[in-house]
Amino acid sequence: MTQRVIFHVDANSAFLSWSAAYRVKVLGETEDLRDIPSVVAGDKESRHSIILAKSGPAKKFGIQTGEPLFQALEKCPTLKVVPPDYPLYVEASRHFVQMLRQFSPQVQQYSIDEAWVDMTGTERLFGSPRLAAEKMRQRINDELGFTVNIGISSNKLLAKMAGDFEKPNKVHTLFPEEMEEKMWPLPVRDLFLVGPATERKLKVYGIYTIGDLAKAELSLLRRRFGKHGETIWHFANGRNADAVTPEPQENKGYGNSITTPKDVVTTEHAHQVLLSLCETVAARMRKDDKCGRCISIHIRSNDFSHASHQAVLTGATNITSEIFEAACRVFDELWDRVTPLRQLGVQMTRLTDEPYQQYDLFSGMSPERYERKIRLDETVDALRDKFGEEIIRRAKFAGDPDGHMAGGLDKARRTGVTKPVPDEF
């Protein structure tokens, strides 16, 4: 039986690399962001000033992805800061995936800057797995202008783990027979799906490395961590049977969040932010012909503490006004009306393909009124698809500088708007 060969391909510091490649290859700039201390970060005047990507020289100053920009500037006052260019990133990601499909049709995109490629049976075309990976890495660098890390294994999990080894611009293998040497000595936090909270709990039981977890008693992990404990135990032992699926899997939920330019301190302001989030969540659900019946609200305070609350609706819906009304009810139950908020999020789950609604004499909602709401949302969607999101907005957002459709990576991701770049980018 032929052994499966799976590649995990991850663009190195993607947002910064793509910005740098575009500036050099398309705009003709002589300074390469990757050669100097530089970062991609949001507007310093807003609350989005978080490091999204960093260069190698910036990393030497101790700058970390996800840290506030002001802290990075304290570490390196001469740091060059460039704004994110999401339409460019969407287009660069498209070119990236197209290149991978020239090596195999079995490509599963995991995020905007990484994907798995099933290379099983391609030895006659590209040689050994390592040789094929080197060819792929070199072509991406030569033709698209950025570097990648490639992890090679017999399953997706180990391939991803291998891809996270030494960076940048490297090829690594991690087959099952190499786990004890290459993976088990690593800190347990390096294992896929082990976050900081899980790491702290594992350390209580003397589990510090991935090898410790692999050798732990499964019954103990089940009792303490439930299904998640069993999952990470299998991962620590390199077990993952998921196939590379070229077609994206259906969403299990639809959600958006936003960090607000200023603290949210009133219910009125919070409801306005929630409405802007519900606009984008509901529009995405309608585009995919999905309805949901469970709504979750997430909030983060200005001291970065987090809280969430959810409720199950009486019916399944994708109507903006209904999702918004439910979001306000759940939010009002969650927030103490005292703590300033910096981030709000809305998520819809328990999805179905068809709407359904329970009517009663006291709700004021008749089948005819419900149908009118559906038609209204469909009309608004059609106008925005044809003329852009700004063609129509609710009166509540007249003159609102924060925008009436919030959350997500960018409207380039919501509407398909991209930035033209040459094929050689």
Domain boundaries, the chain: 15-84, 184-236, 254-415
Residue 5, Cβ density class (10 Å: 0-12 exposed, 13-18 middle, ≥19 buried):
buried
| CATH tag, 15-84 | 3.40.1170.60
Chain center to CA of 405 = 19
The pLDDT assigned to 158 comes to: 96
As given in the structure block, the two tokens for residue 146 are 């950025």
The answer to whether the CB of 108 falls within 8 A of the CB of 116 is yes
Q: Give me the active site residues, please.
A: 114
Asked, as a colleague might, if the bond just before 168 is cis with ω within 30 of 0, I would say yes
Q: How many helices (H) and strands (E) does the chain have?
A: 16, 12
Nearest residue to 356 (alpha-carbon basis) of 317, 329, 390, 311: 317
pLDDT band at 359 (very low <50, low <70, confident <90, very high): very low
pLDDT band at 11 (very low <50, low <70, confident <90, very high): very high
The answer to whether the CB of 28 falls within 8 A of the CB of 242 is no
Q: Which residue has the higher pLDDT, 305 or 20?
A: 20
Best CATH choice for the domain 184-236 from the list 2.40.30.10, 3.40.30.10, 1.10.150.20, 3.90.470.10 = 1.10.150.20
The pLDDT assigned to 412 comes to: 46
* Rounded Cα–Cα distance for residues 81 and 41 (Å): 6
Strand (E) or helix (H) holding 311: strand 306-317
Same fold across 184-236 and 254-415: no
Least confident of 108-122, 130-144, 382-396: 382-396
* Rounded Cα–Cα distance for residues 110 and 346 (Å): 22
As given in the structure block, the two tokens for residue 404 are 């009436």
pLDDT band at 417 (very low <50, low <70, confident <90, very high): very low
Chain center to CA of 379 = 30
Inform me whether the pLDDT recorded for 362 exceeds 50.
Answer: no
Secondary structure (3-state) at 66: coil
Least confident of 33-37, 250-254, 278-282, 286-290: 250-254
**What CA–CA distances, in Å, run from 199 to 206, 212, 217, 238, 306?**
11, 12, 16, 18, 19
Amino acid in position 414:
R
Could you say which architecture CATH assigns to the domain 254-415?
2-Layer Sandwich (3.30)
Q: Write down how long the chain is.
A: 425
Inform me whether the pLDDT recorded for 290 exceeds 60.
Answer: yes
* Rounded Cα–Cα distance for residues 238 and 18 (Å): 32
Which residues are CB-contacts of 43 (< 8 A; sequence separation ≥ 6)? 49, 83
Inform me whether the pLDDT recorded for 418 exceeds 60.
Answer: no
The pLDDT assigned to 246 comes to: 81
The pLDDT assigned to 409 comes to: 45
**What CA–CA distances, in Å, run from 417 to 1, 91, 98, 334, 425?**
45, 9, 18, 36, 18
Secondary structure (3-state) at 259: strand
Q: Which residue has the higher pLDDT, 77 or 353?
A: 77
The pLDDT assigned to 423 comes to: 57
The pLDDT assigned to 357 comes to: 56
Mean pLDDT score, 371-382: 76
The pLDDT assigned to 213 comes to: 96
The pLDDT assigned to 422 comes to: 56
Nearest residue to 16 (alpha-carbon basis) of 81, 94, 112: 81
Nearest residue to 331 (alpha-carbon basis) of 390, 392, 257: 257
Cα dihedral sign, 172-176-179-181: negative
Placement of tokens 């300074």 in the chain? 31
Q: Compute how many other C-beta atoms are within 10 angstroms of the C-beta atom of residue 281.
A: 29
Secondary structure (3-state) at 54: strand
Secondary structure (3-state) at 188: helix
